[in-house]
Structure 1
Amino acid sequence: YYLIQNVQPSSNGVVYVPILKWSDSSNWTQYALSNVIVWPGNSSVPPTSHAVLSSINLRIGVIESSPFTIISYIVDEKGQTTTKLIGYIPELIDLLQTRMGFIPEVILAPSDQTYDGLIDSVANGLYDLVIGDVTVTAKRRKIVSFSNSIFDNSLCIVMRDTLPEDVNLISYLKPFSLKLWIVVLISVIYASVLVYLLERQDNESLQDRSIISSLAMSIWYSIGNVMGYGADMQPSTAAGRFLTVGLYVLSLVLVATYTANLMSNITISKSANIISGIDDIKKGKLPFSHIGIRIGTAGEDYYLQEISRQSRNFYPLKSQQEQYDSLLSGVIDATLMDVGAAEYITDNVYCNLTLVGAGFDNSVFGIVFRKNWLYEQDLDVNILSLRESGSLDRLKVKWFQTNKCPASYSILSDISVGIGTIGGLFVTFAAISILSLLLFAWTRRLLIKDILFKLIRRKVSSIEQNPSDTTHSTKTRKVSRLSQRSSFNVVHF
């Protein structure tokens, strides 16, 4: 036997008046004809509108996730530290409270709580509401209900921002190993000695020269042919020509190999990220064990359904902070995140993290409540009102349109070869040119010495000549003045 009682106000508080009864019959029957149902507002007429949250106590669960919910620590004048929740979600709760008049009890979820765990907490009655960056999914809708959208969302890929390498002045030598360069140098010297021995007597370019000069010409000839340029000296003997064929073959292979390896090194050094979007992850261009996925999130659901086909071959992460720490330490190379939080973090907190590719798996965030919740309509109406008035857009601008990181550049956008890549080549050329000038000065040392000697003698001669000219001029002026005096005396005698 069961009764349904109506809660009615009275002078002593409230009374519970039986309205319907049920015993062995299959339907509820009226308990007494004299008992009248009193509806909210002390009215006998059933309400036609929805239930409202005014003066209703609500246990609201939130989860730390910048910039949606940020824990701020405040130290007062006495040195005591208190915590305060700031961010998009706390301000949204304040807006809803102002409009609807409910009494909030905000509860911060444990740091190891997953988003799926929050869903279960609402279903089990631990929270009346969960407000945060909770994605609406089909799997979750089977357990709880969601409000209208409070934030438009999509997933994105976050990776470390590859920093430009330090300038390496000998990077142009990297195509060959040190041992190979030594072998090439020995081969050039060996070929130079052979050219000297084979061509010394018959080649006009080597005749009438000292041994050092002839060896230098032979080295010049060998280097020119090994580098594929050639030399102005031509072999005169059959043995010399045959040796030249060997130098040509050596040049053909070395130049082709060097060019290919140099271009390969440049291409690798200019590739900032080995993937450009979610399609590259699906194609396996990044090892799955190097992809970090936060468990209990919509990102995990997407990965299992669209990428791994239910294989949990990713690197599991438990919190948002662990995602950032694992990326920065190199434990993982990429992670899937909600675009709102990812943009905020990469623009304001971790400037060496970056978003790669376009967003994917578009979705929305909604407020979580249990199924058939009495105040669902009241909540949805007020959320729509906030959206229509622009309040949600203003909150989004305040918390997401900030940028504290310095302006950066995308390495992928510029694939031109910079001075840092082959700068050492120009330094080497400058050193060779200086050595060439010194060598030229040494070979012309007698001529330069003679020119300098003549310039010094000319300067000394001009210095010696100036005093004699000055003395002669002084004497001339004295004689002139004496002549003028004599002439004056004669006239007036």
Structure 2
Amino acid sequence: MAISDFYAMHSNHQTRLVLHTRASKDLVSTATAVMDLLKNVEVHAILGPQIADAAPLVIELGEKANVPVISFFPTSPTLSPIRNPYFIRAAQDDSIHDKAIASILQSFGWNEVVFVYEDTAYGNGMISSLVNSLHEHDIRVAYMSAILPSAEDFQISRELKMLMTRKNRVFVVHMTSSLGSRFFAVADKAGMMSEGYVWLITAALSNSLKAMNSEIVDSMEGVLGIRSHVPESKDLKSFNIRWKRNLHLMNPNSSVTELNIFGLWAYDTIWALAMAVERIGVTDFASVGSSRIGPRLVKEITNVKFKGLSGEFHLVNGRLKSSALEIFNVIGKGERVVGYWTPDKRLSRRLYSSSSSNELRRIIWAGDSTLTPQGSAISKLRIGIPVKVGFKEFVDMKRNVHLNETAYFGFSIDVFRAALKVLDVKNISYEFFPFMNDKGEMNGTYDDMLHQIGKEYDAVVGDTTIVANRTYYVDFTMPYSEAGVTMLVPIKHGIQRNMWIFLHPWSWDLWLAVIASFIFMGLVIRIMEQPTVNTAFTGPPNRQLGMTLWWPFAALALPERGLVVKDWSRFVLVIWIGLAVILMQIYTASLSSMLIVDQLQPSVVSVNKLRTEGYRVGHQNGSFVKDFLLNELKLSESQLIPYRTVKEYYKALSKGHKNEGVAAIFAEIPYIRVFLNKYGSKYTMAGPIYRTSGFGFAFPKGSPLVSYFSRAILKVREEGKTMDKLEEKYFGQKITSLGVAPPITPGDSRMLHASSFSGLFIIVGIATLLALVISESYIWSKPVALAKQFIIRYLSSKPSNGAELATVQSTAQVHAIENSIELEDLVGNSNQNSESISNVT
């Protein structure tokens, strides 16, 4: 019909297509038919094959002969026209259908599916693209069920019974019509087409639904399908009338009344091939062989564009350009379109609607139900919670005997409920189940409780710490509390008030620096004042030494003008008094702080001390902290004492390690803050903080609820008010969502060191030395004179040459200069007698 219609409309074309058909039922017969067409007939193009698994072989044979293979039947997505240049897919890419399936699942809130597929190359080829598309929408493939095309009905039934034991009730089916028709017939008999089940079929089965037996279609009631949308047109209506008439003439008893999308793609492919052949021309076909014409034919086909029966025919990268998909619902022996999916607008009720409502028309689900299935056999989440003896601020429960009810509350429980309110997934119900034994106590450790996820519980909510070894068997949400493990220790007084407390404000190096500055100032004043009329620095050596050492104190106690005589000495005196005043003020302030404000210090600051001294160390009973102390901090098990309540913590720390108590308790920071809220005046955090990830909710490995709850926890924490109210409700203050507070550090943090005043000492020292040098000229005049003599001798001994002119001074001039230098030295010396001066003159 395609060839007849094309050349009826294009009678002026010089070229003509000639069909050479070969029947094939399996891989071997297909290979034989292709070899016959290539060698004996020498065809220029191959259409098909209809068998999906035979496509790789046909494409390989066509590529070796440079003959394009054009397929409008389902083929594996792994067969890419980009990697196979002689392969043309004149059908929509299946990957676009994967995205539509993911959008449908997300719109109904189903986050787990079971993928049932045909165990062939075609079926396996879709796994990767479908899983990736679902992952982008936070949807997990919980299980994959592969069914062989040759499987008997009892084998299919056995597989379906196994699927019924799983909690998942959403199935995505990817099969060809031959296997799919048998699969749904068996599923109907097994009772899996009843209420609560969800079935989605891919394009491979959806596009063949019109050609299937009406009784099989009736057993598929409630199924959702996705297929390519075929726009209505006059040409399509005219073709359908002629198709039905011709089909009736050829086979009056045929049950098939309509042509599916594969037939329409076949019709359009013939037209595209005929157009490409005409562009090449009959002369070229007559002059060259098929192997030479193949590359040109591929190029011309990919450039063909026209409006065909299936819609716009336009190849992009060797594939038919993707268009809209229609979503239909199987009802009775027919189907009803409930919506559309397009790459830009996604889900919508109407294809040409200006807005996307992301909603479909009313759907009749399996079991003739109009209620949207939950998608799981579990109506409620079974939430495991720890049984707390102490620290019930996080998790607690109270039993009402009269009403036979148990109330659950606590900070962790309320955070879970707050996250549930803002959760993206709606209609999730839950029930709490305490992890306890017959005695009403915790039935093991937290690790034991987490191992029950996937068995007894669907999740665990409580003060469960996120640690690396636990992530091997469960998945955690993001933390809802602060993180870290550290020590809780008693506080001791940092400074003992004894007779030597006045020495504590300054460190030993600062004391030495101050004493050295005293001596330095005394020496400087002694040097500057000795040649003057100041009699304080005259006399025997022991008197001068005593005055040198006593002068800095006298300057502070008796700052009289007569203490020094020279002006530069007074300048140094002012500098010294300024330095002394600054030091005295700082010393007074530091000493006052030590006497008034008590310096509190942790009694233990080093884990190494706990280890070497063998001190007893406490930890919370059943917590992972015990393993952390043994494996990471290398403490011996004989040192470790378990405790359960805040009161037990207090008693153990109050007794101390010498009285059957403990020297320190290792715990997570939220627990320590609860303790400090009650007994904070005598205890503190100390030592390094060992990082953990805080408290989180635990779910089975790979559960999609993890990402939803993590996002919900973020919303609750960012909103702030809810978390603040919960913290004030259970703890009286904000303690768990704050950053980690720094513990009290040991040592003499208020003691001052010489390095703190190095700048001041440098400035005072430089100013004093400058005053000394300027005041005492003999310190610098003699070196200046020696320098001058050296320069003169150097100039007088330097020989002259032709390149320069040297003026040699006479001997008399040299003696005159030398005499003048000596004269200056003598004048500068105030103790020289007048007789010496006249002789020099």
Q: TM-score range by the shorter chain?
A: 0.3 to 0.5
TM-score by length of 2: 0.29
TM-score (norm 1): 0.47
